Amino acid sequence: MIARLLAWLLRGGGRAIAARLAEAHTARAAAATEADRLQADLRIRALEAEEAAAARLADLRRATAGQWEMRALVMTAGLPAAAHFGAVCLDSALPGLFPGWVVQALPGPMADWQGSILLSLFGLSAAKGVAAVLAARR
């Protein structure tokens, strides 16, 4: 999950979709064979679908940002996941801090789900907070 996030960030995040879409249109125009043109068409359709999904997600986030139900959901789903993640990190970094206290990490798929939950609920807020702090310092 973290690898996917890093790959997305290194590609430039959402802004990179437009650049990749422009490259795909250029490749379609330069296609020498019908197979190349069809392959470029498929890439264009996939990128357009990715762009539409990102726009829908942004609209949904804006629509639900101030609702108390959304805040309750974040507290209900996110707080236990964040507390467990913090406990695993603390127990891993300082193993002798609390004798007899061992916090096991979740198994494979569940750990990915936990990471996805934390990123979707808190990642965007944290990124906006960091951006606001950096903008205020300038």
Higher pLDDT, 130 or 102: 102
pLDDT score for 9: 53
What's the mean pLDDT in 113-127?
73
- Give the ranges where 1-138 is alpha helix by DSSP (H): 2-10, 15-29, 34-64, 68-73, 79-93, 108-118, 124-137
Write out the DSSP string of 90-111. HHHHSTTSSTT---PPPPHHHH
The pTM score is 0.44
pLDDT score for 63: 79
Q: What are phi and psi of 126, to 5 degrees?
A: -65, -40
pLDDT score for 13: 55
Domain ranges of the chain: 1-64, 67-138
pLDDT score for 88: 85
Mention every residue, 6+ apart, whose C-beta is less than 8 A from residue 13.
Answer: none
Longest dimension (CA), the chain: 68
Neighbours of 114 (CB within 10 A): 19
Q: Nearest-CA neighbor of 22 among 56, 51, 53, 58?
A: 51
Residue with token string 């193993």: 95
Instruction: Provide the residue type at 79 as one letter.
Output: L
